């Protein structure tokens, strides 16, 4: 059985998310787009959108105030690869100006395979992929639609496309030597009994670790009336996944501090100041 303790890099790391990717290429039923991508399970941080240049100014402001940031990446507020140009440009700028920080993205995986090479060229070394189901019948209860070119695919058709895209994307990243961490939101009566299957599927692809996050309903989403995941459910999910691959603690520290608060100042205030300076 694998340890459920967080890796050393997660214990000491502060992740900073640069909000440059507005669009999304799927629709999760638990998503409230007034907030950052729910696949990251960041609590209560209103979405802000920056240009790549503004994101660099924001990064400098955060680094001037905090000394525990070790990883910088793009995780939304939509999907990092639904708007790949802005994401890649931002990551290239970070690599040029702050090469000492680990670069990462967070994605639903739909467009991961086609951009894996470009991500490595932009200096990305870690990819977080949200995988909430590996069975199309279950995934169809999590995702409303999945974008395929100019069409939206609904139900199991869209779910199957997403799962296959995630498989190809993860395989492409591992072939390129990237670290891949899967993120699974545990949703009662939808995927809570499916976690062992997800973990086994991820392990077979060589995924490096899994973060399990508890579902909390966002009122404005289609699953707004769905019950939240309980502590007992999360414990059972961790026990089901642990035999397959290392489990990692969610980085609540950096989510709350690095982007939620900057000293006593709210991140949104800092972001607005940076926007005003650039205007
Ligand atoms: Fe929302 Fe899902 Fe898109 Fe994230 S991947 S922005 S949760 S629809």
Which two tokens mark 206?
């060589």
Question: Ligand 1 mean position to 35 CA, how many Å?
Answer: 10
CA distance 177 to 190: 33
Per the domain annotation, does 2 fall within a domain?
Answer: no
- The answer as to whether 75 is a domain residue is yes
CB 66 within 8 Å of CB 55? no
| d(CA 48, ligand 1 centre) in Å | 15
Whether residue 1 is predicted with pLDDT greater than 80 in this model: the reply is no
Question: For residue 75, what are the contacts with CB-CB under 8 A and spacing of at least 6?
Answer: 17, 21, 36, 37, 40, 104, 105, 106, 128
Pocket test for ligand 1, best of 46, 83, 108, 111 (most atoms within 8 A of CB): 108
**Rounded CA separation 116/118 (Å):** 6
pLDDT in tens, 7-54: 333 333 588 889 999 899 999 999 876 666 666 654 434 457 899 999
Residue 228 half-sphere exposure toward CB, CA atoms < 13 A: 9
Whichever domain contains 14, its CATH number is: 3.20.20.70
> What's residue 31's pLDDT?
87
For residues 133-151, give the mean pLDDT: 96
- Which residues make Cβ contacts (< 8 Å) with residue 125, sequence separation at least 6? 102, 103, 104, 178, 179
110-to-19, 103, 155, 200, 216 alpha-carbon distances in Å: 19, 20, 15, 20, 23
Q: pLDDT by residue (tens digit) across 52-93?
A: 999 999 999 888 888 888 999 998 889 999 989 999 999 999
Structural domains of the chain, count: 1
State the residue range of the domain holding 74: 8-272
Looking at residue 72, the DSSP 8-state letter turns out to be E
Is-above-0.90 flag for pTM? no
Give nearest CA residue, ligand 1 atom 2: 28
Ligand 1 environment, Cβ below 6 A: 24, 26-28, 31, 33, 37-39, 78-79, 108
Kindly give the number of the ligand 1 atom that is closest to the alpha carbon of 38: 7
Assess if residue 195 is contained within a domain.
Answer: yes
Instruction: Provide the pairing of β-strand 261-262 with 265-266.
Output: antiparallel
The share of the chain scoring above pLDDT 90, in percent, equals: 66
**Does 149 map to a domain?**
yes
């Amino acid at each position: 059985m694998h340890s459920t303790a967080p890796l050393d890099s997660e214990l000491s790391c502060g992740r900073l998310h640069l909000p440059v990717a507005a669009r999304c290429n799927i629709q999760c039923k638990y998503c409230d787009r007034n907030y950052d991508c729910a696949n990251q399970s960041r609590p209560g941080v209103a979405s802000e959108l920056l240009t790549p240049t503004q994101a660099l100014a924001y990064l400098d402001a955060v680094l001037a105030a905090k000394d525990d940031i070790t990883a910088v990446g793009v995780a939304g507020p939509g999907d990092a690869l639904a708007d790949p140009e802005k994401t890649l440009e931002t990551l290239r700028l970070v690599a040029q100006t702050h090469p000492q920080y680990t670069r990462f993205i967070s994605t639903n995986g739909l467009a991961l395979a086609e951009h894996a090479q470009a991500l490595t060229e932009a200096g990305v070394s870690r990819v977080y992929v949200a995988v909430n189901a590996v069975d199309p019948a279950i995934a169809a209860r999590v995702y409303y639609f999945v974008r395929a070119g100019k069409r939206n695919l609904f139900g199991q058709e869209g779910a199957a496309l997403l799962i296959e895209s995630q498989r190809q994307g993860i395989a492409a990243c591992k072939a390129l030597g990237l670290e891949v961490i899967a993120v699974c939101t545990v949703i009662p009566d939808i995927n809570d009994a499916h976690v062992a299957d997800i973990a086994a599927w991820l392990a077979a692809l060589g995924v490096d670790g899994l973060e399990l996050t508890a579902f909390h309903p966002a009122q404005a989403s289609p699953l707004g009336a769905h019950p939240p995941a309980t502590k007992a459910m999360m414990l059972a999910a961790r026990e089901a996944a642990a035999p397959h691959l290392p489990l990692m603690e969610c980085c609540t520290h950096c989510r709350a501090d690095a982007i939620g608060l900057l000293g006593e100042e709210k991140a949104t205030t800092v972001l607005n100041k940076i926007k005003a300076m650039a205007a």
